Structures are given as structure tokens and as C-alpha cells.
């Protein structure tokens, strides 16, 4: 392999995209994340504190890079039809910051991630503007909804993945890998009675089981299902969206820190230096690592094949 691919990690959170993209042939040259608790977790694991608010960072102050990674927040864009181009339409949103950095640095490729709702947001207008604005900057764009449960994880977690290649690479019709139905059971990922995660008997009777409607989702070591999406507000113990474990001092408990790491695909030794509330928030906001890794690997294969072909083409002149 020639020189390492340089990448930047925007809206980095705790570095989930980085976990999936980074390997021996890549190097992260810049990261940005405004949340101070996420910065703390990022620093504990990668040895660097991400820069803060991306809207205040000038594009020229970001190092040169080959790849841009971003799990950008989804915000509404201004109405269509102003004719100033899509860059203008996205002004004032965080996606605009992704665009201005891509426009200035012209990375060879990018990998963006967002919630599934992005596709239907503002009646599909938001996604239309995103793709059109990336096309306008000279990129071939593909996108697809992927589900973490098809990448070896015991969790239903659907996310939109957007991949772009510089038009000069001549990579058209990039096929984003969809994984395969693996139906990995959650039971294998559970710890043996971790302490300190119990839900009080009072909360169970007054709220969790106040109705006999089969909710919330309860699991144990024998469960062979895939759990619901781990959400950022998991610590609030919501009966409709939460998944809880049978066991512990009161008979029902929350997922442990180790279990959260595992169902997101993080390594067991990933360091969490923040409170439990922040820990749940951070994992709920992160990405399914094996899913990102598989997409990243496919991107790298395409990129290296393309640069090889292009260099052969030049030599035969």
C-alpha cells in the first residue's frame, strides 16, 4: 500500500465512524465534536480531544484529507426555488458545514450517516437537496438504508448511509453492502448478573408493567431475538422503546455498559469515563461499528482499484 489514507471525523460523537473506518492503512488527521462529555470519551480512547463547534472552524484550518466521515444531525433546509444553488439552500444547517469543507478540500470520497427518517424528512425534500448538492460539487453519490442486525449485531437499528466518490475517480454505481440476514440472538451478548443496573420494584409496578400489553421488551440469556434500537434516552427507562433484562436484585435491570458496547459492536475494552446517563446517551447516538466497517472496506477496495486503473491509464499514454 502507498501512503496512508487521511480522514477527518466530523460530528464525531465517541468515534463510532472512526472505529469502523480506521485501520493500519488510514490515519485520522482531524476530529470535531462539540459535546464536552463525548469529547471526554473520545480523548480517553483516541488520545486526542476533538475540536469544538464545527460552525466556528474555518475550512482552511482543517488539514488536507482523502476521506470525510460525518454523522451529521438532520435539520430542515430552506424552501426550494431560490435559484442560488444548493449550497445556499443548506445555509444555517450543519449539513452546510459538511458541504463547505468538501468544496474546499475536495476529498476523494466521503461516508455520511443519518437516521432513517432523513429519507422522508420534509416530504423527501431534505434528501433530494443533500444528494443534489453533493452532485453539484462533483461527486457520484449512492445511498441506502442499512440495518445493524444484518451485520452480526443483535439489534434492529436502521440508518441511512450516504457514500460519495469524486467524479474524477470514475466510480459509478457503487454498491453499498447490505450485510446478510444473520439473526444473531441477544442472549449471547448478555452478562451474568452485573450489579448496579436494577430497576426498582416500585417503578416496575407503577410504570413498566402498569398495562398487560406485552411491553416493555424483556430478555434473558435464552432470548434468541434482536432487541429494539438502543436510543439516546435509554436511561429514562421508557416502557415502549426500552429493552430490559431479567435478573439483578429486583428481577429486572437495564442493559449494562458492557452489553451496550457489544450490541453496538464496540470492543469490550472501549473506555467510558463518563456517568451512566452520558454513557447511554453516547451509545444511543453512535453507529453500529460492523456496519460502518463493511461499508468502509467496500469503499477502500473501490478506491484502490480505481486509482490503480487510473495510473495504468496514464502510463499507457
Residues with a catalytic annotation lie at 74
d(CA 288, CA 233): 17
Residue 258 makes CB contacts below 8 A (sequence gap 6+) with 191, 194, 268
CB atoms near residue 145 (< 10 Å): 14
Query: By the 8 A CB rule, do 9 and 15 touch?
Result: yes
CB atoms near residue 196 (< 10 Å): 11
User: Which ranges in the chain belong to alpha helices (H)?
Assistant: 16-21, 36-46, 86-89, 94-105, 125-136, 201-203, 257-264, 276-284, 289-315
Phi, psi of 48 (to 5 degrees): -145, 145
C-alpha cell at 199: 430497576
d(CA 62, CA 107): 12
Residue 179 makes CB contacts below 8 A (sequence gap 6+) with 146, 147, 150, 151, 152, 290, 291, 294
Query: By the 8 A CB rule, do 163 and 111 touch?
Result: yes
Amino acid at each position: 500500500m502507498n501512503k496512508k489514507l487521511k480522514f477527518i471525523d466530523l460530528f464525531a460523537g465517541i468515534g463510532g465512524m472512526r472505529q469502523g473506518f480506521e485501520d493500519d492503512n488510514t490515519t485520522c488527521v482531524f476530529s470535531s465534536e462539540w459535546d464536552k462529555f463525548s469529547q471526554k470519551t473520545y480523548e480517553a480512547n483516541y488520545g486526542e480531544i476533538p475540536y469544538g463547534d464545527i460552525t466556528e472552524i474555518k475550512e482552511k484550518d482543517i488539514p488536507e484529507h482523502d476521506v470525510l466521515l460525518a454523522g451529521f444531525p438532520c435539520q430542515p433546509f430552506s424552501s426550494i426555488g431560490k435559484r442560488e444553488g444548493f449550497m445556499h439552500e443548506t445555509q444555517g444547517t450543519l449539513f452546510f458545514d459538511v458541504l463547505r469543507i468538501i468544496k474546499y478540500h475536495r476529498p476523494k470520497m466521503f461516508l455520511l450517516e443519518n437516521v432513517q427518517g432523513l429519507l422522508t424528512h420534509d416530504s423527501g425534500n431534505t434528501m433530494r437537496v443533500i444528494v443534489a448538492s453533493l452532485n453539484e460539487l462533483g461527486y457520484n453519490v449512492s445511498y441506502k438504508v442499512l440495518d445493524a442486525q444484518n451485520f452480526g449485531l443483535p439489534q434492529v437499528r436502521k440508518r441511512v448511509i450516504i457514500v460519495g466518490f469524486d467524479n474524477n475517480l470514475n466510480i459509478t454505481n457503487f454498491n453499498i453492502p447490505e450485510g446478510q440476514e444473520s439473526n444473531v440472538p441477544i442472549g449471547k451478548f448478555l452478562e451474568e448478573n452485573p450489579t448496579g443496573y436494577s430497576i426498582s420494584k416500585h417503578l416496575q409496578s407503577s410504570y413498566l408493567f402498569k398495562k398487560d400489553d406485552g411491553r416493555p421488551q424483556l430478555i434473558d440469556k435464552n432470548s434468541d431475538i434482536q432487541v429494539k434500537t438502543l436510543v439516546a434516552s435509554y436511561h429514562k427507562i421508557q416502557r415502549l422503546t426500552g429493552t430490559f433484562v431479567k435478573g439483578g436484585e429486583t428481577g429486572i435491570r437495564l442493559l449494562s455498559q458492557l452489553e451496550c458496547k457489544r450490541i453496538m459492536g464496540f470492543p469490550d475494552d472501549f473506555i467510558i469515563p463518563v456517568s451512566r446517563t452520558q454513557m447511554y446517551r453516547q451509545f444511543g447516538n453512535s453507529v453500529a461499528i460492523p456496519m460502518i466497517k463493511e461499508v468502509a472496506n467496500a469503499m477502500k477496495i473501490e478506491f484502490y482499484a480505481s486509482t490503480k486503473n487510473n495510473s495504468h491509464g496514464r502510463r499507457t499514454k
